[in-house]
Amino acid sequence: DLRAWQRPLRAQFPIITGNPELTYLDSAATTQKPQAVLDAVQTHLTTANANAGRGTYPWANAATTLVERTRDRIKEFLGDPGPAHSAVHFTSGTTEGLRVIARDWLPAHLSDGDEIVVPFADHQANLSPWLEAQQLLARQGVRIRVREMPYQTSSGDYDPAALAELTGPRTAFVAATHVHHVYGQNMNVHRIRQAVGSHIPMCLDAAQSVGHLPVDVADLDVDFVVFSGHKTLALPGSGAVWARQARGPRFTPGGWSGSPNTTGIVSLAPALDWLDAAGPDRIERWTVALAARLSEGLRHLDAYDILGCQYSLAADTVVQQRCGIVTFRHRAIPAGDLGFILFSHGFMVRTDGHCQADAGEKSSSVRVSLHVYNTPEEIDRLLAVLASLG
């Protein structure tokens, strides 16, 4: 019974239990933090705060050890089958993680005439770094071609057949997104791997999947996984790149040349412990069910259109793939106004263009994004308010 599983988990988020009149529906932007994470940070800052990677006194050693242990914890959390041959590089989040790969790894692995395939309709953070790498290389006289990851208009997923067609001997790198931050579509990464073959380095933007569903690097067969700490119950300003080292030369994790965000890194391990104990598979079932409840409710309200969902509402199987994210518009009320009305009822939602890279659906919409602390009652209350705006 997922309800009995969820109730005590929700009780561990003080900001949720402490604000019963408010409903937080913006977890794709950032997640709330459970008490265990707050405690770990407080303990670190009040008992052993020191800069990691420098100094030899006990607090400094303890900070360094915590950082190194967190690297191991991330590998374990991601199901890394060869932790001795992989690297974890700490970043401030997904944006910096993707940028680090594009700046420090990618250019060294591309030659004149190579092609890379990247998504044009996902988060901006998973497009601009690759275009900047292309420009950087062009200034060095290396011309690479950036190809657009094809989408299936019928499902919102990538199109593996079209991808296989545009993949060739010059394809040197593929970037994909695991869960779309506006549509909640869980992209079929296995089919992307099958389409491009086993030898091409593949990078996965996992900002909306780590902590929301099981993310297993062996199962997914990807080379880079990038995620943000603040979206996985940890502190803002923390995040990581996990890099398998098998395909292509090594990705070298950042050294100790600058001060790491020790407190942020310290918050990651208890967050991953918490998520592991709760069970990413159950979190997925919970949030997918809440998203389906919201989609179903919206489907019966004529005044609303669900983005990217014209197709998926026809088939329950596709609705089942919406990972805790539902984005919609009211046909008459502008999204900003709708957000304002919703907050007057205590609902906190995202309202804007959602940092989406493509121009197609850039105009404003309302995004509801869910996590383990949300409940079916919250969805029903939201639907009642939305229905009243008919």
Q: Which residues bind ligand PMP (CB under 6 A)?
A: 28, 93-95, 123, 125-126, 177, 181, 205, 207-208, 228, 355
| Cβ-based neighbours of 360, under 8 Å, separated by 6 or more | 121
Q: Which residue, 333 or 355, is less far from ligand PMP as judged by CB?
A: 355
Q: Which residue, 171 or 208, is less far from ligand PMP as judged by CB?
A: 208
Helix (H) or strand (E) holding 235: none
Q: How far is the CB of 92 from ligand PMP (least distance, A)?
A: 7
Q: Radius of gyration of the chain from Cα atoms?
A: 21
3-state SS, one letter per residue, for 296-359: HHHHCCCCEEECCCCCHHHCHHHHCCECCEEEEEECCCCHHHHHHHHHHCCEECEEECCCECCC
Q: How far is the CB of 385 from ligand PMP (least distance, A)?
A: 25
Q: Which residue, 24 or 297, is less far from ligand PMP as judged by CB?
A: 24
Sign of the C-alpha dihedral computed for residues 93, 179, 353 and 376 taken in this order = negative
Q: How far is the CB of 208 from ligand PMP (least distance, A)?
A: 5
DSSP state of 102: I
DSSP state of 123: B
Helix (H) or strand (E) holding 96: helix 94-100
Angle between helix 280-299 and 376-388 (nearest 10): 20
Q: Which residue, 92 or 312, is less far from ligand PMP as judged by CB?
A: 92
Q: Which residue, 236 or 279, is less far from ligand PMP as judged by CB?
A: 236
Q: How far is the CB of 337 from ligand PMP (least distance, A)?
A: 23
Q: How far is the CB of 49 from ligand PMP (least distance, A)?
A: 24
Q: How far is the CB of 126 from ligand PMP (least distance, A)?
A: 6
Q: How many residues appear in the chain?
A: 390
Q: Which residue, 239 or 297, is less far from ligand PMP as judged by CB?
A: 239
Q: How far is the CB of 125 from ligand PMP (least distance, A)?
A: 4
Q: Which residue, 94 or 262, is less far from ligand PMP as judged by CB?
A: 94
Give the 3-state secondary structure of residue 156: coil
Q: How far is the CB of 89 from ligand PMP (least distance, A)?
A: 14
Q: Which residue, 64 or 151, is less far from ligand PMP as judged by CB?
A: 151
Beta strands 224-228; 23-24: pairing state: unpaired
| Cβ-based neighbours of 27, under 8 Å, separated by 6 or more | 231, 324, 369, 370, 371, 374
> Which residue reads 């100094």 in tokens?
55
Q: Which residue, 92 or 134, is less far from ligand PMP as judged by CB?
A: 92
* Closest to 390 in 3D by CA, of 328, 327, 331: 331
Q: Which residue, 179 or 386, is less far from ligand PMP as judged by CB?
A: 179
| Cβ-based neighbours of 116, under 8 Å, separated by 6 or more | 106, 110, 130, 134, 144, 145, 146, 147, 171, 172, 173, 174, 175
Q: How far is the CB of 381 from ligand PMP (least distance, A)?
A: 25
DSSP secondary structure of 39-91? HHHHHHHHH----TTS--SHHHHHHHHHHHHHHHHHHHHTT-S-GGGEEEEEE
